[in-house]
Amino acid sequence: MKYSINAAGREVVTEINGESATPFQGVGKYTPRGTRHAPSISSCSNYPADGNKLVKNLREALENAGLKDGMTISTHHHFRNGDYLANYLFDVAHEMGVKGLRWFPSASFPCHEHLIQYLEDGTIERIEGSMNGPLGRFVSEGGMKGMGVLRSHGGRYQSIQDGEVKIDIAVIGAPTADFFGNSNGLLGDSACGLLGFALGDSQYAEKVIIATDNLVQFPCIPWQIQGNHVDYVVEVEKLGEPSKIISGTTQITKSPDRLLLAELTARFCDAAGIIRDGFSFQSGAGGTSLAVGEYFRKIMIEKGIHARFARGGSNKYLVAMLEEGLVDYILDGQTFDLEGVRSMVENPNHVWSSPFTSYNYHGKGNFAGLVDVVILGATEVDLDFNANVVTHSDGYLLHGIGGWQNCLFSKTVILPIPLFRDRVPVVKEKVTTLCGPGELIDVIVTERGIAINPLRTDLLERTKHSNLPIKSIEELKAEADRICGLPDPPALEERVVAAIKWVDGTVMDVVRKVNTS
Amino acid sequence: MKYSINAAGREVVTEINGESATPFQGVGKYTPRGTRHAPSISSCSNYPADGNKLVKNLREALENAGLKDGMTISTHHHFRNGDYLANYLFDVAHEMGVKGLRWFPSASFPCHEHLIQYLEDGTIERIEGSMNGPLGRFVSEGGMKGMGVLRSHGGRYQSIQDGEVKIDIAVIGAPTADFFGNSNGLLGDSACGLLGFALGDSQYAEKVIIATDNLVQFPCIPWQIQGNHVDYVVEVEKLGEPSKIISGTTQITKSPDRLLLAELTARFCDAAGIIRDGFSFQSGAGGTSLAVGEYFRKIMIEKGIHARFARGGSNKYLVAMLEEGLVDYILDGQTFDLEGVRSMVENPNHVWSSPFTSYNYHGKGNFAGLVDVVILGATEVDLDFNANVVTHSDGYLLHGIGGWQNCLFSKTVILPIPLFRDRVPVVKEKVTTLCGPGELIDVIVTERGIAINPLRTDLLERTKHSNLPIKSIEELKAEADRICGLPDPPALEERVVAAIKWVDGTVMDVVRKVNTS
């Protein structure tokens, strides 16, 4: 294994699964060359004249698509922890006796623990994609043959577009579809809202299979995936478990600690002049993030102002703001609850977006840079404001990157995080795994103080006369260490089990095997 | 100039403007090889961080885009005969002193007569695209330096997608746009409904310029052109003349002859069992076509049935059918009147389509084959049911192909045409210019009888006991010749002034210079 020290000072691999990899060169420093990936030209003469692309079942579709050893198979994660399809897909691949596949999901979840048997028996050689929970633990302990690759949502689109990852077969679960392959996630028992995480797959994969449990007469309206990209359509009984695909309801945290983080975050934004008429924001669907949104809402009502747009993940709170006229548009990437789906179906101002529009760094711009303030999480931050979202301080890879790296390009990035978790400090000397460079992270909000990145002299200036508990990041670290003591470093071996890509496809860091002996 | 006899028996060129060209090989017989065109990979690091891509004016945008001699510049024709932008664009190119450009419009109109001066002075070397009216006459008389190339709407998308035509700079007029380049044709003084004819241009051109006369705050919702494809945005005073972009109202023909054609067409469809519950149809916006739609409407009401979808060009009659519940969906490619635009803005069942979804023959299927019946026009048909839509019988190139070739893949293709025009027979021994092969054309409806293509034994069988005036095509020709006499063949020279492409990029026929001496 060859290593190189990248521009962030991290020792990274220069080869990943037999292909050369470029070390991170600094934010905005790497200029891609060459042309986008170009799939083969198709011809209508090879497709049914009447538009009916239905085949008997997934096995027939995979056979027709030419599934063979070593291929790259992609799936999307809009069904989250309720997904049945990815498990079923690899059951079929296993039954066909295919080996050495690369699974390229937009993310994997605890429900995909089922696939560990196929990582063990060689059906799947490696996973490139977020590995939340059990699969991450399996990888951390050295169980996966190939090296994992973690990319942001935008980085995944970039890797497909640039031909860094060539998808042989995309298998796209579609809550509603017609026989031509036009599909949406809005309707049907498995409704998940959007299908944007499968957009790049549909555009660039050599073969595209739509699997649906709600086949409707042509035309399926609206279409989010265009049938003109689709080779085969199959009916399956159930794509997933509806209650786990979309929660019936999302809830704001009731934890006093987290409510305090949220309140401090909102007060900071207010003091810094960020919450002004026509501003824009993005805040996740976690309990703290939802609470930040609610504090924003109160401030906006008080001031009599509104936001031009909010970026989703959408949820009932954001939908309420849209419907109250506090937000002109939701630019949504995924829906987290039933209200999000309802609004997306009914309201033209609840707009579909995708990793292409919002996050692809190798586009002609993207939406991330237009957002005034984004509220994100992290497992660790360090004295340089670098942050980690994928590993815990014990070195275990347990979370995906999602859109996190992409959102760092927003005008102001705030991480409301507790100063420690289970008596382990969250502010460290150096993060265990580097996911986002500190120069893009502006503010750390903890229950014991707010640290502003010294690069943001404007924010320091604007909040210096506020009554907010502004401290240095060093002060926050000292306080955490005083309370928790300095934790032991993680017990890691030499072997690299996964690479962390930056938004431009370069290698930002690596994850090493945890020593379990 | 080298020639070859193609599969339709036409002598065609094997080289067009210095590039080799493949002769037509038969319907569905040509298999494309290779991969789609791949534009250069971009990077957000080269675009404004705040998303603001506005530049001072079109000249600055063209300069930034690197306009130079010999480049290919594309425009769209959604502004039809009211377009100002293409003329203005070449005024600027002329002012910059650029020479030898290839203009690649999706169509040109009489309003573009202004550009003849630039064809004469060498600013524009050639036009590839429909040339309606004066430009066609100019080309027919040998005035254009390079060879013209005519493609269908789907063929144009195919040529862009396949890299047959590489667009250096696309200049897209957008009735509404934001500074990031998100655009639509729905709102603003120059509203034209859709921007689908510019879709391929936005996806595949190296540089994309949006010109708008209605700049709105980000985000421009809905977006039909995605800002993520756009390099520069410029404001212009007026994109076009609203009354010529969209007609205030479309009108059904009042001509008794044309009403008869329409009635016979509808009665034929009824007798042939085509008008049944859940069927689909496409009929243009000409007076006869509109009348066919109205006859369909009456039949549907009488039978108590409805259509699953109608393909647009939309107009007030089609919109009325949608709103009455006689049609579930309009799959629209362009709007012809204000009612079409209104409906598209208001009604989610009035659906945007594009040459990609509906017509691209080098996709994984397209919508054309799913349409039960399509009503088209023609300037000439011949005894083999071959048809011509671009030249008159005197050899003059005066019309574009539009979606006509693409629509020939519908399940039943009907041409309601007068038996003669200005005492020139429309049914000929051989068409002057071959645009569509007879095997795809099913029925010719004239005021003096209906001819069914002998290949369609099913239609012959189903209508044989009807009281419709079914005749052979030979009988129709004999009748026309008896009335008009046999016309002189057109006076043509050897020189080829334009090539007619088939939907797969092969050469179906050529247009020769008219002898004006």
The pLDDT of residue B285: 76
Residue with tokens 């005083």: A482
Q: Which residue has the higher pLDDT, A413 or B312?
A: A413
Mean pLDDT within A324-350: 96
> At what angle are helices B287-303 and B316-323 packed, to 10 degrees?
20
Q: Is B355 on the interface with A (CB under 8 A)?
A: no
Mean pLDDT within B169-178: 98
Domain residue spans of chain A = 46-128+165-245, 256-495
Check A53 against B331: CB less than 8 A apart.
Answer: no
A296 pLDDT more than 80: yes
A470 pLDDT more than 80: yes
Helix/strand/coil for A457: helix
**Half-sphere exposure for A338 (CA within 13 Å, toward CB):** 9
Radius of gyration over alpha carbons of chain B, in Å?
A: 23
Check B50 against A218: CB less than 8 A apart.
Answer: no
Contact (Cβ atoms closer than 8 angstroms) between residue B410 and residue B373: yes
Say if pTM beats, i.e. exceeds, 0.95: yes
Mean pLDDT within A187-211: 97
Mean pLDDT within A233-251: 92
Q: Is B84 on the interface with A (CB under 8 A)?
A: no
Q: Candidates 3.30.450.40, 3.40.1080.10, 3.40.50.920, 3.40.50.12780; correct CATH number of B51-128+165-245? A: 3.40.1080.10
Contact (Cβ atoms closer than 8 angstroms) between residue B293 and residue B321: yes
Check B42 against A228: CB less than 8 A apart.
Answer: no
Contacts of B230 in chain A (CB under 8 A): 364
Contact (Cβ atoms closer than 8 angstroms) between residue A369 and residue A349: no
Mean pLDDT within A321-335: 97
How far, in Å, are A91, A189, A234, A341, B143 from residue A238 at the CA level? Answer: 15, 8, 12, 19, 64
Q: Is B157 on the interface with A (CB under 8 A)?
A: no
Structure tokens at A278: 């026509």
| Nearest neighbour of B365 by CB, restricted to A162, A227, A360 | A227
ipTM for the predicted complex: 0.97
| Chain A from 86 to 145: CB within 8 A of any B CB | none
| Residue B369 preceded by cis peptide, ω within 30 | no
How far, in Å, are A294, A491, B295, B470 from residue B454 at the CA level? Answer: 71, 81, 26, 12
Domains A46-128+165-245 and A256-495 belong to one CATH topology: yes
The pLDDT of residue A462: 97
Residue A496: count of CB within 10 angstroms of its CB: 20
A285 pLDDT more than 90: no
| Nearest neighbour of B362 by CB, restricted to A32, A38, A41 | A41
Residue A457: count of CB within 10 angstroms of its CB: 10
Closest Cα of chain B to A356: distance in Å?
8
Structure tokens at A1: 């294994």
Going by C-alpha positions, the residue among A339, A353, A359 that lies closest to residue A310 is A353
Contact (Cβ atoms closer than 8 angstroms) between residue B507 and residue B23: yes
Contact (Cβ atoms closer than 8 angstroms) between residue B432 and residue B490: yes
Radius of gyration over alpha carbons of chain A, in Å?
A: 23
Contacts of B354 in chain A (CB under 8 A): none
What span, in angstroms and rounded, lies between the C-alpha atoms of A293 and A270? Answer: 13
Length of chain B in terms of residues written: 517
The distance in angstroms from the start CA to the end CA of chain B is: 23
A49 pLDDT more than 80: yes
CA angle B377, B382, B386 (to 5 degrees): 65
How far, in Å, are A136, A383, A406 from residue A430 at the CA level? Answer: 22, 7, 22
Residue A5: count of CB within 10 angstroms of its CB: 10
Mean pLDDT within B205-220: 98
DSSP secondary structure string for all residues of B462-512: HHTTSSS-EE-HHHHHHHHHHHH-PPPPP-EEEEEEEEEE-TTS-EEEEEE
pLDDT-derived band at A503 (thresholds 50, 70, 90) equals very high
Contact (Cβ atoms closer than 8 angstroms) between residue B198 and residue B175: no
Residue with tokens 């839509």: B389
Contacts of A504 in chain B (CB under 8 A): 43
Question: If one looks up domain B256-490 in CATH, what number appears?
Answer: 3.40.1080.10
Going by C-alpha positions, the residue among B363, B401, B400, B435 that lies closest to residue B135 is B400
Contacts of B50 in chain A (CB under 8 A): 369-370, 411
| Nearest neighbour of A35 by CB, restricted to B31, B34, B38 | B38
What span, in angstroms and rounded, lies between the C-alpha atoms of A378 and A394? Answer: 15
Check A365 against B219: CB less than 8 A apart.
Answer: no
> At what angle are helices A287-303 and A256-271 packed, to 10 degrees?
40
pLDDT-derived band at A249 (thresholds 50, 70, 90) equals confident
Beta strands in A159-306 (DSSP E): 169-174, 176-177, 183-184, 207-212, 232-235, 279-283
Mutate to test the interface with B, among A30, A40, A43 (most CBs of B within 10 A): A43
Residue with tokens 């945005």: B233
| Nearest neighbour of A43 by CB, restricted to B43, B226, B361 | B361
> At what angle are helices B287-303 and B256-271 packed, to 10 degrees?
40
Check B51 against A367: CB less than 8 A apart.
Answer: yes
| Chain A from 409 to 428: CB within 8 A of any B CB | 409, 411
The pLDDT of residue A247: 82
Q: Is A24 on the interface with B (CB under 8 A)?
A: no
Mean pLDDT of chain B: 97
Mean pLDDT within B415-431: 96
Q: Is the dihedral angle over the CA atoms B150, B152, B157, B163 positive or is it negative?
A: negative
Mean pLDDT within A302-314: 96
Q: Which residue of B has its CA nearest to A207?
A: B364
Check A42 against B362: CB less than 8 A apart.
Answer: yes
Check A32 against B41: CB less than 8 A apart.
Answer: yes
The pLDDT of residue B379: 96
Mean pLDDT within B469-494: 95
Beta strands in B70-109 (DSSP E): 72-75, 101-105
- 3-class SS letters over B398-418: CCCCCCHHHHCCCCEEEEECC
Question: If one looks up domain A256-495 in CATH, what number appears?
Answer: 3.40.1080.10
Overall fold of domain A46-128+165-245: Glutaconate Coenzyme A-transferase (3.40.1080)
pLDDT digits (tens, 9 = 90+) for B446-480: 999 999 999 999 999 999 999 999 999 999 999 99
The pLDDT of residue A102: 98
Buried b (16+ CB within 10 A) or exposed e, B457-490: eebeebbeeeebebbebeebbebbbeebeeeeeb
B97 pLDDT more than 90: yes
The pLDDT of residue B250: 81
Contact (Cβ atoms closer than 8 angstroms) between residue A447 and residue A468: no
Check A40 against B35: CB less than 8 A apart.
Answer: yes
Contacts of A356 in chain B (CB under 8 A): 226, 228
Residues 6+ apart with CB under 8 A from B324: none
Residues 6+ apart with CB under 8 A from B277: B303, B305, B306
| Nearest neighbour of A362 by CB, restricted to B41, B180, B367 | B41
- 3-class SS letters over A357-384: HHCCCCCCCCHHHHCCEEECCCCEEECC
How far, in Å, are B25, B153, B385, B434 from residue B29 at the CA level? Answer: 6, 20, 20, 18
The pLDDT of residue A107: 96
What span, in angstroms and rounded, lies between the C-alpha atoms of A488 and B252? Answer: 83
Helix/strand/coil for A404: helix
Q: Helices (DSSP H) in B125-178: which residue ranges?
A: 134-140, 153-161
The pLDDT of residue A287: 83
Going by C-alpha positions, the residue among B387, B42, B381 that lies closest to residue B227 is B42
How far, in Å, are A41, A63, A72, A148, A324 from residue A165 at the CA level? Answer: 19, 22, 8, 13, 43
pLDDT more than 70, % of chain B? 100
What span, in angstroms and rounded, lies between the C-alpha atoms of B272 and B395? Answer: 36
Going by C-alpha positions, the residue among A291, A342, A300 that lies closest to residue A321 is A300
Amino acid at A88: Y
Closest Cα of chain B to A330: distance in Å?
10
Going by C-alpha positions, the residue among A357, A385, A384 that lies closest to residue A371 is A357
Q: Which residue has the higher pLDDT, B246 or A126?
A: A126
| Chain A from 275 to 314: CB within 8 A of any B CB | 278, 308-309
Q: Is B32 on the interface with A (CB under 8 A)?
A: yes
Mean pLDDT within A313-329: 96
Structure tokens at A162: 């640039």
pLDDT more than 90, % of chain B? 95
Q: Is B70 on the interface with A (CB under 8 A)?
A: no
pLDDT digits (tens, 9 = 90+) for B343-353: 999 999 999 99
pLDDT-derived band at A152 (thresholds 50, 70, 90) equals very high
The pLDDT of residue B249: 77
What span, in angstroms and rounded, lies between the C-alpha atoms of A46 and B210? Answer: 36
Mean pLDDT of chain A: 96
Contact (Cβ atoms closer than 8 angstroms) between residue A365 and residue B232: no
The pLDDT of residue A253: 86
The pLDDT of residue A1: 81
| Residue A48 preceded by cis peptide, ω within 30 | no
Check B365 against A51: CB less than 8 A apart.
Answer: yes
What span, in angstroms and rounded, lies between the C-alpha atoms of B378 and B393? Answer: 11
Mutate to test the interface with A, among B22, B24, B37, B44 (most CBs of A within 10 A): B44
Residues 6+ apart with CB under 8 A from B422: none
pLDDT digits (tens, 9 = 90+) for B138-165: 999 999 999 999 999 999 999 999 999 9
Provide the β-strand partners of residue A327: A307
